Chain A
Amino acid sequence: MLDFLRIAVRGLLHRKKRSWLTIIGILIGITSVVALVSLGTSMQLAVRRSFEELGYDVMMILPGELGGGFGGPASLGASFEIDADALSEVEGVGEIGLMSYESLYVRAGENEGFLDTLGVSENIFSFFKVEMVAGRGFSPGERGAVVLGVEVAKELNLDVGDTLEIEDRPFAVVGIYSADSRLDEDAILIPLPDMQALLGTQGVSMVFVRAAPGYEVGKVATRLEEFLYESRGRRDLSVQTMEEVHEVVQRALGILGAFLGGIAGIALLVGGIGVMNTMYTAVLERTREIGVMKAVGARNSQIMLVFLLESGLMGLVGGAMGTGIGALLNFAAVTAAKAVLGARVLEYGISWWLVLGALGFSFLVGAFAGLLPARSAAKLDPVRALRYE
């Protein structure tokens, strides 16, 4: 086998320029496969990390029926009223966090406009492990206070101790939270009662429930759903575990990844056809040599092996370089995304199985593309091949 490999390498080196051009074809294919697949992985990993940080023991109560696909609840963001105290009586329910969302008119000095505002229960800060850059979160029963995301604070040029107006009511800035927090760094947080007063409702848009220690999330979710149905008499709210949400998001990302991979596959296919073309040319060019190999006693299978090794090697070399470049691209993309868009958008997505898979696959593409040319080489009639000019 090693001897045949040596013969194959000799053959490749003999037509260096053409071998390299062919290898570049494979290289581009594998680069795009690795770059795009790892990008998909990067997104999935980032999403998974986000969910893991929040914890899989968390459930969300959302308005509307949750469909199967990734459409999600039909009326996400709609407001609903809920008795949090009654909810906490359900077996297995631990901490409960309430959130109400609205885009509100905000004014701070020269700056004014509609900004995303969240009315939150004061335990949201611990619930989401919000990291404060300055100041503090809300104390129980506090009103007229506001906590800003670091980006918003920068944009509005506000610091702890300053005041801003939301819907013409004054709020004092008591804290600023970091961009690394689970909450959107562009948000403005005010106490839930203030939000409800501004909107003139008793409603919330989302309830976060953590399962009490020792309880299984899925079972608690089912119990909660039953409780909500019994207490409200209709199924207008759905309970979603983070696992379910994660699954829906992963499925969407999976489809995206498959789509990207498909596009990359086309590039690889073109590379494979390049290999086939080169190998056919090589077979034609070396017809006489094949005749000689047969004359000195090479079996058809041995000649086939030489040519398959040649095409497989081209695939493998292109694949190795493509994998390297693809990995670099992923590294560059993730690094750039972290710098520009914030820490949580992407994670490094190169894994061992991707590297090994890409290498194995590129060898297979090369060998497969070489299959027909190698077969035609092996089946040459030795006498004709020897006469070939």
Chain B
Amino acid sequence: MRNETIVELVDVWKVYRMGRRRRIEVEALRGVDLRVPRGEFLAVMGPSGSGKSTLLHIMGCLDRPTEGKVLFEGRDVSRLRPVALARIRNRRVGFVFQSFNLSPTLTALGNVELPMVFAGVPRRKRLARARELLARVGLRERERHLPSELSGGEQQRVAIARALANSPDLLLADEPTGNLDTETGRGVLSLLSEANGEGVTVAVVTHDPEVAAAAARKLRIRDGRIVGDDDA
């Protein structure tokens, strides 16, 4: 049976050392406890610098906590080696960023294929899946276009298709509508909701009230601590 909690954080601290000789310590997260059940649509809100992105990165195994435990599908991943974390990110997690972050050298199709290349999916299967995903986000006709030839909204839709490539359990989006106008943002939001409707757990860092309204659970974070949680 699959674990019904997809990711759980137990007293997670993240301290960055910055500046010359790394003497300045910045506490991005200060003792965060969080349990995200499978299938949830979670919005993370808070002022800039409050630790939202760090929280998202740690949930997605992109970063490791300085202290505390991270359980991904019940397994402690807080001390795993980079190669094992890369594997989890590749198979289980999809990331969507505010600035799209598509590879400028690859076409829309190539970008969607990328996670499958790293996963070692055979080319034929990969192309079929990438085309299916592009069709789903309404960009089947633009598969040969480079990111520089696409609008912001189109780029973000490609990014969502890429995040879904390896059928992840967890989709993490960091201000996915932050660089888009309201109308385009709605299109992106509906794609996220659609994925959530199909059973993918979605966590979105956002300032956008419309996005927050779509989420079933809202998390407020300030100075590295969770200060508000609908669920709590």
Contacts and interface: CB of A to CB of B under 8 A. Distances in A.
Contacts of A289: 101, 103-105
B87 interface: yes
Contact of A295 (B89, B104, B105): B89
A383 B117 contact: no
A77 interface: no
Nearest to A301: B83
A297 B91 contact: yes
Main secondary structure on B side of the interface with A: helix
Contact of A383 (B62, B87, B162): B62
A328 interface: no
Of residues B88, B105, B162, which shows the largest number of chain A Cβ atoms within 10 Å of its Cβ? Answer: B105
A297 B119 contact: yes
Interface string B57-70: 10010110000000
A340 interface: no
Nearest to B14: A383
Contacts of B114: 7, 293, 296
A298 B114 CA distance: 9
Contacts, number: 81
Interface stretch (A9-17, A60-68, A109-117): A9-17
A183 B114 CA distance: 70
Contact of B106 (A4, A10, A297, A302): A10
A210 interface: no
Contacts of B102: 292
Given A292-B101, A383-B62, A298 B86 contact: yes
Nearest to A292: B101
Nearest to B97: A386
A297 B103 contact: no
B123 interface: yes
Nearest to A387: B53
Contacts of B118: 293, 296-299, 302
B105 A382 contact: no
B95 interface: yes
A297 B105 CA distance: 18
A285 to B, nearest CB: 10
A10 B87 CA distance: 24
A10 B105 contact: yes
Nearest to A11: B105
Contacts of B54: 383
Interface in B84-112: 86-91, 93-95, 97, 101-106, 110
Contacts of A7: 105-106, 110, 114, 117
B166 interface: yes
A295 B163 CA distance: 10
Contacts of B74: none
B47 interface: no
A3 B120 CA distance: 9
Interface in B37-83: 54, 57, 60, 62-63, 82-83
B185 interface: no
26 contacts: A7-B105, A7-B114, A10-B110, A11-B105, A13-B105, A289-B104, A289-B105, A291-B101, A294-B62, A294-B89, A295-B62, A296-B94, A296-B118, A296-B163, A296-B165, A297-B90, A297-B119, A299-B86, A299-B87, A299-B118, A301-B83, A382-B63, A383-B54, A383-B57, A386-B97, A386-B101
Interface of A: 2-4, 7, 10-11, 13-14, 288-289, 291-302, 382-383, 386
Top 3 closest A-B pairs, CB basis? A297-B90, A14-B105, A296-B115
